[in-house]
Chains A and B, each alone.
Chain A
Amino acid sequence: MLPYPLLTISLTLMWLLLNGFTLGHLILGALVAVFASWAMASLRPDKPKLRKWHLLPKLFFIVLFDIIRSNIAVAWLILRGRSKNGRPGFLTIPLEIEDRTALAVLAVVLTSTPGSAWLEYDSYDRTILMHVLDVADEAAWIDTIKNRYEKLLMEIFA
């Protein structure tokens, strides 16, 4: 009946946000969302497996907090110049997650955080190439990514 419940709910919510909440728009938006999710099902994308979706808000708030922190750090770096041992650099980081959706989420998180950008993923030896603006402590970056994001993502998309 409904192949992608999360997609259907978000499309209905988007319709209501754009048009204002009335009963008519609720019905119309729900109809559009149901048809759109059937259209999506006929494209047959990989179905993401969300095991522990109740951890998603936790990930969201961790990312929100980290983005605020690195916004301040990068703004400081641009205005004041970089610290003595800080320099930009490329990092190669081995990853354990293989799920495509989890990788996509990690890529979006890392790139939308100022100061770190995802360049490419090598599916053969499962490493990512990143560029970071201030690589004062290489081990700290690897530790952040592996313990802060990757563990949580592995739990969510296990």
Chain B
Amino acid sequence: MIQPAADIPLIAAIAVAFFLVVGSALALIGAIGFVRLPTFYERLHAPTLGTSWGIGGVMVASMIYFSVASSRLVIHEILIGIFVTLTTPITFMLLARAALHRDRAAGSHNVPAKRASEAEERPSA
């Protein structure tokens, strides 16, 4: 049974509040950087703030809150944490490679050129 928030101990409430605010502040800073940074490759770094400890902070807050409020161990939020930390790098790598491919195809000089060994298309690509 979940108790109302008034009944949980003060120290747990402070911990929940701390992790919640830190996590969402990191997500917000990531979004600010995402709007402010000038080029695509720099912008790629900003959302990882939100997907590493932004997610981590909010999930830890949720775990503490539900564990204390229902007085048993509730850690299923860790699944979201693991899932997101494993999947975000994959999407970002795919997007970065797509962006490189498009920039090279457009003949941009701001990206490193394809090396000679990569000239022919590899089957694994």
Chain A positions near chain B (C-beta within 8 angstroms): 14, 17-18, 67-68, 71, 74-75, 77-79, 88, 90, 92, 107-108, 110-120, 122-125, 129, 131, 133
Contacts and interface: CB of A to CB of B under 8 A. Distances in A.
B93 A75 contact: no
Contact of A111 (B32, B75, B89): B89
B111 interface: yes
B79 A18 contact: yes
A125 B52 contact: no
B112 A129 contact: yes
Contact of B53 (A68, A88, A116, A124): A68
B51 interface: yes
B53 A122 contact: no
A137 B107 CA distance: 29
Contacts of A79: 29, 32
Contact of B44 (A108, A113, A117, A120): A117
B48 A112 contact: yes
B52 A122 contact: no
Contacts, number: 101
Contact of A18 (B44, B76, B100): B76
Given A88-B39, A112-B52, 4 more contacts: A108-B86, A112-B88, A119-B96, A133-B42
A106 to B, nearest CB: 11
Interface of B: 26, 29-30, 32-33, 36-37, 39, 41-42, 44-46, 48-49, 51-53, 75-76, 78-79, 85-86, 88-90, 92-93, 96-97, 100, 111-112, 115, 117-118, 122
B49 A114 contact: yes
A92 to B, nearest CB: 7
A125 B75 CA distance: 44
The B interface is mostly helix, strand or loop, or mixed, namely helix
Q: Which 10 A-B pairs have the closest CB atoms?
A: A111-B89, A78-B33, A124-B117, A114-B48, A108-B89, A17-B76, A133-B45, A131-B41, A75-B29, A112-B89
A75 B26 contact: yes
Which of B39, B48, B79 has the largest count of A CB atoms less than 10 A from its CB? Answer: B48
A117 B79 contact: no
Contact of B118 (A90, A92, A108, A122): A122
A67 B85 CA distance: 11
